[in-house]
């Protein structure tokens, strides 16, 4: 893998079995993500975009293929090892369409949750969380619970949470899917700009053509194959 490449997938394939039928969702997918860059993936609903992101995050196995996170090379046809799971916590951040904020925790506690779980919670993490919330324009909501926030505010908090550990790569799965057009545009601008400022590479799954075109590389997933646009 080129030294400037932060994530690479080779020959990633995935088939699901429904009754007596095998449905091939991914066919020999190859992708390469340079450091400090962005790549978008578009495609019809159900075409396998989320499955591909889950494989890249080692949340889901592939049938075949190899994945590289910088110089760490992993087979994708078996479960992630304990060391891979531990490494993922600092290498990857993930933003979902549905936010997945813990309703009982306030905004600051949600952003710092991963640090609390890993035992890495300290004053510098609290300061970083406040800094990210400031970049997201929601620092004044730090002591609010998620239920008191708008959809756009929740997604801004989710982005701050994903960036807390300074990941090398951020995976965003339809991050504006639950937002209106104006709010979605604002959140997307923040996502792209903050990733650039943080030096994090971005893989963005989106149906929105304008958002897709804002990334450095654009691809379409169709009939199990990933094609550059």
The tens digit of pLDDT for each residue in 115-135 reads: 887 777 899 999 999 999 999
User: What whole-number distance in Å separates Cα of residue 81 and Cα of residue 126?
Assistant: 30
pLDDT band at 210; cut points 50, 70, 90:
very high
- Residue 3 has a pLDDT of 61
Taking phi first (over 0 means left), then psi (-120 to 50 degrees means alpha), and beta for anything else, what does residue 116 get?
Answer: alpha
Q: Map residue 75 onto helix, strand or coil.
A: strand
To the nearest whole percent, how much of the chain has pLDDT over 90?
Answer: 87
Beta strands in 167-211 (DSSP E): 169-173, 201-205
Determine the Cα–Cα distance for residues 53 and 41; give it in Å rounded to an integer.
10
Query: Would you give the DSSP letter of residue 81?
Result: P
Query: In this predicted structure, what is the pLDDT of residue 45?
Result: 87
- Report the CATH fold assignment for 5-228: Rossmann fold (3.40.50)
Q: Nearest 5°: CA angle at 114, between 216 and 107?
A: 85
Cα distance between residue 144 and residue 138, in whole Å:
10
């Amino acid at each position: 893998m080129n030294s400037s490449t932060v994530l690479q997938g080779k020959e990633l394939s995935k088939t699901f079995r429904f009754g007596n039928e095998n449905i091939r969702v991914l066919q020999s997918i190859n992708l390469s993500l340079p450091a400090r860059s962005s790549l978008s993936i578009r495609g019809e609903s159900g075409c396998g975009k989320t499955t591909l992101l889950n494989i890249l995050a080692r949340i889901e196995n592939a049938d075949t293929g190899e994945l590289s996170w910088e110089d760490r090379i992993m087979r994708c046809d078996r479960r992630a090892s304990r060391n891979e799971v531990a490494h993922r916590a600092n290498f990857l951040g993930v933003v979902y369409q549905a936010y997945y904020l813990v309703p009982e925790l306030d905004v600051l506690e949600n952003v710092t949750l991963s640090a609390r779980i890993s035992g890495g919670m300290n004053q510098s993490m609290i300061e970083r969380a406040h800094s990210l919330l400031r970049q997201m324009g929601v620092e004044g909501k730090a002591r609010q619970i998620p239920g008191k926030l708008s959809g756009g505010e929740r997604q801004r908090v989710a982005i701050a949470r994903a960036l807390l550990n300074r990941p090398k790569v951020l995976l965003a799965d339809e991050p504006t899917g639950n937002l209106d057009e104006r709010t979605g545009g604002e959140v997307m601008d923040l996502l792209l700009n903050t990733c650039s400022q943080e030096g994090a590479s971005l893989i963005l799954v989106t149906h929105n053509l304008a958002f897709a075109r804002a990334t450095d590389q654009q691809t379409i997933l169709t009939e199990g194959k990933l094609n550059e646009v």
